[in-house]
Amino acid sequence: MAQGEKRPVVMEAAKGVPGGVASLGADGKVPQEQLPEFGISNAEIKQKLVDDDCLAITDSEANNRTKRVFWSNIKEILGGLFVPVTRKINNKALSSDVTLTGADIPVSGSDDTPVSTALSNKVNAGAPQVYDLPLSSGWTNYGTSRSRYWRNQFGEVSVIVDISNDGAVQHSSVVAQLPTGFRPAENFDVPAVLYDGNNQTCLKCFVRAASGEIIVASSAQTTWPEATYFIAQLTFMASS
């Protein structure tokens, strides 16, 4: 400093106070609290952001210091929170609310039939019509019971046999006959019970697929001479 030269002097009391001068922190920078507020109301407006653009934020984890965040980082954060409008659901853009109906949804990944079409083709599950079982000569319904048969909407046939015979009954006797459309695809049999007087015999109720005949079947090939009560219940898929 040359003799007689004067330099400006800043008093310590004037540092960091209103009307004074800014002080420097340990990092050689003006502390955040001494910086003026950042006003952008008169800044130029930019309509479209690019990845290299920055936005100013106050960092709550760094004493609310002003920092910059790149638009590319903001887009990445938003992409994890929201579905991009470029995506579609059933070829419908997500730019507005989307309403899906049965016509928009396929039955499965391998079947593109719309759900609405599949539901319109569903089978009507109404109660099936029940018919009296046509009994062979000599056989009648037991007491007030009703021997009957029916077929449901899935092609499943059910038969209830509850009959009696006052005469002798032989092995392989035909007790009834099912009409076409109510017969099994192949010969079918189920356990059955026959009462002969005071005796109870477990045997089979056999259905011939070709004729629909319902038969009393016994491996012993027995003849039952006394009053007979025969009961059985059958369920099977119809042949057509």
| Fold of the domain built from segment(s) 130-237 | Immunoglobulin-like (2.60.40)
The tokens for 24 are: 């420097």
pLDDT at 238: 95
Each domain of the chain, given as residue ranges in start order, spans: 20-78, 130-237
Number of helical (H) and strand (E) elements in the chain, helices listed first: 2, 15
Based on the number of CB atoms within 10 Å of its own CB, is 165 exposed (0-12), middle (13-18) or buried (19 or more)?
Answer: buried
pLDDT at 139: 94
Please give the full DSSP string across 112-152, using - where no structure is assigned: --BHHHHHHTS---PPPPEEE--BPTT-EE-TT---EEEE-
Looking at the whole model, is its pTM more than 0.75?
Answer: no
Contact 169, 223 (CB under 8 A): yes
Q: Which residue has the tokens 């006052």?
A: 166
Contact 204, 187 (CB under 8 A): no
In order along its 240 residues, the chain shows pLDDT tens digits of 556 566 666 666 666 677 667 777 778 787 777 776 656 666 788 889 899 988 888 888 988 888 889 989 988 888 777 777 778 877 788 777 888 888 888 888 788 888 888 777 666 667 899 999 999 999 999 989 999 999 998 899 999 999 999 888 888 899 999 999 999 999 999 999 998 877 888 889 999 999 999 999 887 778 888 768 899 999 999 997
